[in-house]
Chains A and B, each alone.
Chain A
Amino acid sequence: MARTSQSWGLRTLKIGFMSLVGLSVAFPVYWMVITSFKPNSEIYQRNPTFYPQAPTLDAYVALMTPHGTRAPFVATMGNSLIAAVGSTLVSVIIGIFAAYALTRLRFRGREAFSGLIFGCYVFPGILMFIPIYLMFQWLGILDTFFGLIISYQIFGIPFATWMLRSYFATIPASLEDSARIDGCNRLQSIIYVTLPLAAPGIAAATIFTFTAAWNEFLFAQVLLQKPQYQTAQVALYSLLNGDSVAWNQLMGGSVLVSLPVIVLFFAAQRYIGSGLTAGAVK
């Protein structure tokens, strides 16, 4: 009897704790969504309302209308998409071959090189943006998506390589040996055998590099000065510049920016899970 009540108590405690954590995660999201549907007058009321009294799409309409130097928000999202997709493709493709080389080929300095990649990955990007700005200026690639995509490789390639390396290590090398005897050259053995088996790892690396690039603010702000290249993150920030902040627009923009990432995560949830586990056990 005592045991039952004790485990009941423990259960309640667990559920209570998880509800608290769940609530603290979900509430800001809920607040963001409902705020985006409120008129600004309601937001600035003395007593906050927990659901929109008079739901309106005004904030979204305003976002889509160009304002000052700010492009329509959907255009800035398009810019973000170009930067994020471009950067993800480059990171993941280079990451795949780098990770393959680091797990499968024997060469002098392999371990040192692996360590160096990890070092790059953990090095704070903020320390580099001034030298990178100067370098890009010299190269004449400021205010180009190309330049931004290159700058995203600073964290993208090391991240994708590191993640895929631990995934590739879980794929038995004998499968590639077998493929090479079956008639593949090395590249074919990668394409027919290694890549299909590494699909979960590649999906996970893709999602994480995409999210990192999509959410990136600092380099996008510094390297792209022209309004027509503004990314969504920078556009969101520009909404804060003004005498009165249009919170409903800021939250509406936040909702729109979250959507692609949420969709991507749900679509690939299965892969991310297995991708992470595979990396964790090695």
Chain B
Amino acid sequence: MAAIEIRNVQKSYGNLQVIDGLSLDIEDGQFVALVGPSGCGKSTLLRMISGLEDITDGEISIGDRLINNVAPKDRDIAMVFQDYALYPHMTVAKNMGFALKLAGESKEAIADRVHRSAKILDLTDYLDRYPKQLSGGQRQRVAMGRAIVRDPQVFLFDEPLSNLDAKLRVQMRAEIKELHQRLATTTVFVTHDQIEAMTLADKIVVMNGGRIEQLGTPLELYDQPESLFVAGFIGSPPMNLIHGSVGFERGRAVLASDHGPVLLLPDAQTLTQGQRIVFGFRPEHLHIVADEAEGAFDCILNVIEPTGAETQVNAWFGPKLITAVFRERHDLSLRQKIWLNIDLRRTVLFDEATGLRVR
């Protein structure tokens, strides 16, 4: 196990800058998820840590060792690829033992370590099979087995669950989490799925346009997004974002929303009259209240989706749809007018021009 230190790393292909002076510290044993939309540079960053991509500028260290010019095979890392990248002409046992064989381990030692890893991942019965004879979930497990058999300092995962169906993805997610708790190996996990990042990681790095947008624990990112981008990216269903201008009524800050009613704003020190802002609130921080209660606003129900544990609704807020999630049961019907109240302590404000948080 080892910490990873990334200092001012840059990557460009010709004139195209993909990673722009990125720095990141990953602690020993930590599970870090890199998330962001396609093309944000998360996979490139992972491939630079692995050594499969050269670094244009900057430094990457694993443990205390600078690895800029160290070959992938000498970095003491293991990587799980999106398409599993199992060797189709080798059996499961050979796939898992390939790295050990290249490292010159004895046959007995390889067999022993392969069996131990296979046991952890419930693959013992499949050791003599070829990848094409396995299901998607089993292949995924072999790919992980190939990584853990080496007992590396760092695990790198490149969107390893994106080829699985929804049910299997949830199951494998739990297995990866359990594996990390058991082995406590430093892990970097790339995904575009924020739920995966939220459920697995100790620390999430949200990337956008080749730089870090925000970095923090899953709940920090969820509760305290520092930018509109993070607010929109983290959370499913996503945060409601209402554009408008700041006004003051009876000493309290309000939002004259562009298309809907006036909303009460949380207390913020820096708001000025007429300032253009974006008001963000999570769907679960909306509550149905009796009509025209203090600070409540009305909207018209458009879609009602009960899931049992909770009910998600889409409602017209002027010409804009907002989402609310209720854990309590309400007697709701389509096109019904409901009154909602926002839990102001849990809301966030962003400057419309910069997209950054306003406090």
Contacts and interface: CB of A to CB of B under 8 A. Distances in A.
A158 to B, nearest CB: 28
A175 B103 CA distance: 18
A225 interface: no
Given A172-B83, A174-B83, A182 B89 contact: no
Interface string A173-212: 0110111111111001000110011000000000000000
Interface residues of A, number: 17
A183 B102 contact: yes
Q: Which of B81, B85, B87 has most A Cβ within 10 Å?
A: B85
A177 B85 contact: yes
A183 B71 CA distance: 9
Which of B71, B72, B103 has its CB near the most chain A CB atoms (within 10 A)?
B72
A197 B102 contact: no
Contacts of A184: 73, 102
A197 B99 CA distance: 18
Contacts of B103: 183
Interface residues of B, number: 21
B81 A185 contact: no
B325 to A, nearest CB: 39
Given A182-B73, A185-B73, A188-B102, A177 B89 contact: no
Nearest to A189: B73
Interface in B88-129: 88-89, 98-99, 102-103
A178 B103 CA distance: 15
Given A185-B71, A185-B73, A188-B102, A180 B52 contact: yes
B85 A174 contact: yes
A172 to B, nearest CB: 6
Nearest to A171: B88
A197 B88 contact: yes
B241 to A, nearest CB: 37
B89 A196 contact: yes
B142 to A, nearest CB: 12
A175 B77 CA distance: 16
Contacts of B89: 196-197
Given A174-B81, A188-B102, A180 B87 contact: no
A174 B159 CA distance: 13
Contact of A181 (B79, B82, B83, B88): B79
Contacts of B87: 175, 178-179, 193
A180 B73 contact: yes
A176 B81 CA distance: 11
Nearest to B147: A181
Given A172-B83, A174-B85, A181 B77 contact: yes
B254 interface: no
A269 to B, nearest CB: 20
A17 B171 CA distance: 57
Contacts of B255: none
Nearest to A108: B14
Contacts of A196: 89
B78 interface: yes
Contacts of A174: 81-83, 85
A196 B103 CA distance: 21
Nearest to A186: B71
Nearest to A176: B85
Contact of A183 (B50, B73, B81): B73
A107 to B, nearest CB: 12
B68 to A, nearest CB: 16
A177 B81 CA distance: 9
A175 to B, nearest CB: 5
A188 B72 CA distance: 13
Given A181-B77, A181-B79, A183-B102, A175 B85 contact: yes
Contacts of A182: 73, 98-99, 102, 146
Contacts of A188: 102
A181 B102 contact: no
B131 to A, nearest CB: 11
Contacts of A185: 71, 73
Contacts of A197: 88-89
A102 to B, nearest CB: 19
A196 B94 CA distance: 14
A174 B86 CA distance: 9
Given A174-B85, A180-B51, A182-B102, 20 more contacts: A172-B83, A172-B85, A175-B85, A177-B50, A177-B79, A178-B81, A178-B146, A180-B71, A181-B52, A181-B77, A181-B99, A182-B73, A182-B98, A182-B99, A183-B102, A183-B103, A184-B73, A184-B102, A185-B73, A193-B87
Interface of B: 50-52, 71-73, 77-79, 81-83, 85, 87-89, 98-99, 102-103, 146
Interface of A: 172, 174-175, 177-185, 188, 192-193, 196-197
14 contacts: A174-B81, A174-B85, A178-B79, A178-B87, A179-B87, A180-B71, A180-B72, A181-B72, A181-B77, A183-B102, A188-B102, A192-B98, A196-B89, A197-B89
